[in-house]
Structure 1
């Protein structure tokens, strides 16, 4: 039997790796996801992500009831194709994020240790910073074995 959970997050895939964006309502999860989509990322899910395990990886996929939908505040629902990808990094949006970190913390999800960093929203460079965080702190595409 496959273990699964729904996690409150937006998620995009960049270079085949899932980036989960978490935080309280109104913190800018969807705005950051839209900015990353505009830069070439692929949608996984908005406002909810289904997590399962497969071949030693934690896999992010869209929940069936919201697959391919993004709620754009003040605009409405828009449709985009959605994909699945192995989870590489979680950005936890908070205004109290440290200015500099040496390494990401980790969080255990379904038996997988996933890197997580606190991430403050500042300006239009946020998607570039998110991509850099994924490159610097995210799991490599081949490093998804659980402990």
Structure 2
């Protein structure tokens, strides 16, 4: 067994809700950027889109944007859009867009190893109208503290 990596570059999107990061994971075209855009419209701040650097620091997974894509969000139909963004955020919750979705969350909630650290994970359909609200509620219910 190999030891966990203290640094990773993930094909993901990350936003900040309050002082907590939400890492959105899924394959290309799965709705990561679309869900992030709707969360941003509700008050979230962009951290990074389509590529997220994550490092372990003081027992937390810290997400940031690679310099080449900082402050940019791909909006299908519009192209690359410049947005205000935070430099970094502790990751409190992962949202999986390609995992099996359940009527009720599993107990215990699955965790994902992010830069070698466990982060709770929920599986959601990003295109449901309620998806941004579910992310916010999921963060309140299951996310790691700030």
Paired with 1:110 and 1:125, the residues of 2 have a C-alpha distance of 30
2:108 is aligned with 1:98: no
What does residue 57 of structure 2 align with?
Answer: 54
1:29-75: CA deviation from partner (whole Å, max 9, x where unpaired): 11100000000001001101110122221100111110000111111
Paired with 2:99 and 2:119, the residues of 1 have a C-alpha distance of 22
Aligned equivalent of 2:92, options 76, 88, 93: 88
Paired with 2:74 and 2:127, the residues of 1 have a C-alpha distance of 22
- Relative to the length of structure 1, the TM-score reads 0.88
- Relative to the length of structure 2, the TM-score reads 0.89
Query: Gaps spanning 5+ residues in structure 2: where?
Result: none
2:108 is aligned with 1:133: no
> Where in structure 2 are the equivalents of 1:1-147 lying within 5 Å?
3-83=6-86, 84-94=88-98, 96-101=100-105, 102-141=107-146
Q: Pairwise CA RMSD of aligned residues?
A: 1.7
